[in-house]
Every structure is written in structure tokens, then in C-alpha cells.
Structure 1
């Protein structure tokens, strides 16, 4: 079945732009990215769009379709009424480069600020052992394809540009949570306090667990329930439990004494 759809696609660059109307053919089984490609082949050969795999695994074709952050390659045209106007705009939380392409370098800079997994001392990688329960728990977060839809929909980033300097966003707080719960991560032995960093460097306190990040995740990762809330609970225990606070203070004092 073929029909003509009415699309509105944002065209412009960092200096501004507007929605442009297009009438375009839609065939049965197609996704929004198919239609964008058809526009490039017909009415808008200079339309800029980022994409790669067209299989929902590279995270490149993130955009907003009718105001909702989505992967264009995973958004089927069948979810829209044939008479419905389909509006495609770039991710709002990041600066526009051109048309549907945004500058997501903030995310890569944030990723570099998070210390990587610290191998346990005295063990070779072939000697690592973990319970299946722990493997399952952290493996969920490894499904992330870094489409940055969660970053885009998070209102702390989306509505407040100034927060980017102090807030890592759900994708990277999830990364901190993953490392903090990893049973083999030896960050503490290396002098890295992931809980303290989550609160003081990565802005965990800015997250108010609205679950909007979870709602748009194409991999269906339970970002809020399984990563952010547990991380907040561990940070609260560390920051406000008087016994934990006293133990931390004694350990830091001993460490300072040993260094001197």
C-alpha cells in the first residue's frame, strides 16, 4: 500500500531555520528514515541527516519525531495516521550543525571525565570471576548504543544549557552506577571514590528521577530504576549515615597520616 504523506522537516543551521513542508511517498513497512532518504533522493538533495546502520544499533539517527525523541530507523510510519502531519526536527538539547544533524560533543567530553574500569590488582583478565547475578545486573547497562536520546529528553540538560557544565546526564550517571556496582572494579584501591564523584562532580543531585530517560531508551534499559535510584541510595548512605561518615573520615585521616 502506497500513500502520500505530509512531512514537515526542520531545515537550517546554527544561525536559525524553519520547518519546510514536503509531500512524499510512503510504502508499506517503511520507517521515518526511509522517508528522509526519499526526500534526499527527490525534493531535498541537500538535506543533512546523520545515520549509519539503519538497524537500531548505532544510535546515529536520533531526532525528534512529532516532538518525541526517537531513532528514525526504528520509528515505523504505521504508527502515524495517514492524514497526520509528521514533523521531524533535530534533538533540541544539542546545538544544531545543519538540518537534522546536531553537535553531540558534550556527551563525548562528559564520557572522558569518568574514570574507566580499574582492573583488580593481582589478577589477570583470564582470572576474573563474577557471579551470574552480578553479570546480569551490569550487562543491562552495556546495551546502551549511545543514541543520546536519554540525554536529549532529560529536562535538566534540555531546558538548562548552564547545567551541562555540572551535570553528566542519565547516560553517564548510568555508567558511573555500572562501575560502582561492578564487583571487580578496584577504583577505591586506586583512590577513586565513584559515589563521591557522582554527587560532587557529575551532578547526581540534579536528577529528580522523572523516568523520562527510561521512556525514550530504544534498548529498554531501566535507567532510572536500575541505575540512578540505586546510585542515589548508595550516595545517601555514604553522605548521611553517621557511621559511614565517621568511617570515611577516619580512613581519610589515616591515609593523610600515612602519606606524611
Structure 2
């Protein structure tokens, strides 16, 4: 497979640019990033390209290769025909800095707006306990290397610049889903926040984000669609809404709160950026709202036969099963675990 191959590389900056043709030596087993490095060492020493690990784990070398968002270090030259011209361009969705380097600060701004993990306030950090099934539920989403290829290919931000302010994108939908599935996260309104502040409703599940993910995360099927279903189940299910009105009629007035559920949902912005509450903004900067009341686990939404439980009609939010079971006390006894917190009391030293 050795020999010279034809390449077209975009050169320019925010003022404009063009595709330039190069002929570069290609050896067997090389990837596109190898070719870019050889090009920098020979014909184009001023070619700008962002990269770091060259192992498909840092997400730095994101680019578009023949129009497809890919990682330069994970795209082998053997996938192209020897007579084929390989066109390399920067990510189209984000502003160009120079050549193949783009300004992806949009994604970091959205990361800051996303409410962080909110641990239980009454459990010391060393005493957090999770069952393996709960670890596995969200483990897939933690494989994300933040290459932002999913953000780049999402047409909601790619084709409509005006949507960027109100749309977080697929990368932060899987983050919201991961935290919503976390049994120790005490923030109970992540679904409502995803709908109200992250723009979940803009997504029309074309699955283009899943197609380009180098970590093969099923972004659409395992994160976005389940999150949409949870929002719709609570907001628009006529049976649930009717049952809530029948069984909970007069309870709000009797408690003296005088507030409707819709009014409480309107305060969802106070848990992250874009809020008008100075104290909430300060808490969002710290990442955790320590003043939140920890919700109690609720009964599962369906019984063993798959039927809707009566608690689903009477509770004002979607129910969820306790991740620890009804017969397990939390936290688990430390003597049955391999992990011990550094602050845990140590056994007395043996005296000779």
C-alpha cells in the first residue's frame, strides 16, 4: 500500500480559506493523523492540527474526512481506495481558528450549565454504596471522550446557528441521563431540566450522533429516547394527569403550601446557569446545591406483572425503584466490603 496518495486539506482561518492539494507518502498501517504529521514535516510546516494521545482516547484530533466526522488517529488509510482523493476539513459546526483547529468552547459552556452530580448530604463520601446493576446502567455513557463529533454532526446546531443558545446537544443529553440513572444523585428534576433548559425537545432522533460516535455509545437509543419518554410520561400522559388530580385534590391547600406543581417546575433554572437567582448562580458555580432536600426512594412504576402501580397515579413525579431493595439498609456495613474510607476507624494496633 506504500506510495504517494492524493490529499486535499483545508487551509485558512476565520477570515476564509480554501482546499489545497498535496501528494503525501503513505505507508502500510498508517492513519490519517500520520499523514498530517508527515505533511507538517515536509510541505506544510505551518499546518495547524489539534492532537494529543494518538490512541483514540483524548478526542482532540476531531475532523471531517471525506465529509464524515471522524478521529484522525482512528481512521486508517487502508479504508480508502488507493486512487481516491482524501479530503480533510475542520469540524463544520464550530468557528474556525486556523486550518483544522476549531473553537469548541460552546461545548464547555454547556458543560458548565449542566447541573453536576449532587451527592446525598447525610452520607459521608467514603460510605457511598451502589449495586453493580446500577453501575452498569450508566457505565456506557462514561466512555465518552468528548471528541464532540456528535455535537458536530447534530443538525440542530450544525444547520441552525440560532439554536445553539437553547440546545445543549447529544453529549450533554447522555450526561443528564447518566446522572438521572445514578442512585446516589439527589437532584430529582433532571428530566424537567433537560426539557426546559437543555432543549431536549429540539432533538428529533435522527441517530446521526450515534453513527459517528467513536466509542460506539448508543446515544439515541439508550439516552435520548429514554429521557424523552420519561418527560412525556409525566407531562402528557392523560391517565397519570387525571389520576394525580383525583387522588391529590385538596392536598396542596391542606398543607398550606399554596403552590401548584407547575409553579415548582418553573424554578428548574435555579439549579444551574441562566437563572435570575444570585444564590442559585453561586451554587451552580460550585457544582453542587447542598441545600436541596434529599428525596426518598419511591415504589417502582410497574409491578412484577408489568402493570402500573397505584402509586404512579398518586405521586406527583415519576416513581423509581429503590436501587438497594427493600431489605437492604443503607449504608451497607463496612465490615462486609473490601473498600474502607480513610477516615474510617481503624482496628486497634496489635500489641506484642
TM-score range, shorter chain: over 0.9
Check the 8 A contact 1:59/1:71 in 2, yes or no. yes
Determine if the alignment matches structure 1 residue 85 to structure 2 residue 81. no
Determine if the alignment matches structure 1 residue 223 to structure 2 residue 223. no
3-state SS of 1:24 partner? strand
Determine if the alignment matches structure 1 residue 210 to structure 2 residue 206. yes
- Please, what is the CA RMSD of the aligned residues? 2.0
Partner Cα separation in structure 1 for residue 256 and residue 6 of structure 2: 66
Partner Cα separation in structure 1 for residue 10 and residue 256 of structure 2: 57
In the TM superposition, structure 1's runs of 4+ consecutive aligned residues that sit over 6 Å from their partners are 247-253
Check the 8 A contact 1:31/1:77 in 2, yes or no. yes
**What is the 5 A alignment of 1:24-103?**
24-103=24-103
Check the 8 A contact 1:56/1:74 in 2, yes or no. yes
Determine if the alignment matches structure 1 residue 238 to structure 2 residue 234. yes
Partner of 2:142: 142
Check the 8 A contact 1:167/1:206 in 2, yes or no. yes
Q: How far apart are residue 27 of structure 1 and its match?
A: 0.3
5+ long unaligned stretches in structure 2: 260-352
3-state SS of 1:195 partner? helix
Partner of 1:186: 186
Partner Cα separation in structure 2 for residue 149 and residue 135 of structure 1: 26
- Cα deviation per residue 1:130-152 (whole Å; 9 max; x = unaligned)? 22111011111000000000000
Partner Cα separation in structure 2 for residue 37 and residue 236 of structure 1: 49
Give TM-score, length-normalised by structure 2: 0.69
> Which entry has the higher C-alpha Rg, 1 or 2?
2
3-state SS of 1:8 partner? strand
With over 3 angstroms needed to count, the CA separation of the structure-2 counterparts of 1:250 and 1:200, relative to structure 1, is farther
User: What is the number of residues matched between the two proteins?
Assistant: 254
Determine if the alignment matches structure 1 residue 119 to structure 2 residue 119. yes
Higher helix share: 1
Give TM-score, length-normalised by structure 1: 0.93
Q: How far apart are residue 157 of structure 1 and its match?
A: 1.0
Determine if the alignment matches structure 1 residue 11 to structure 2 residue 19. no
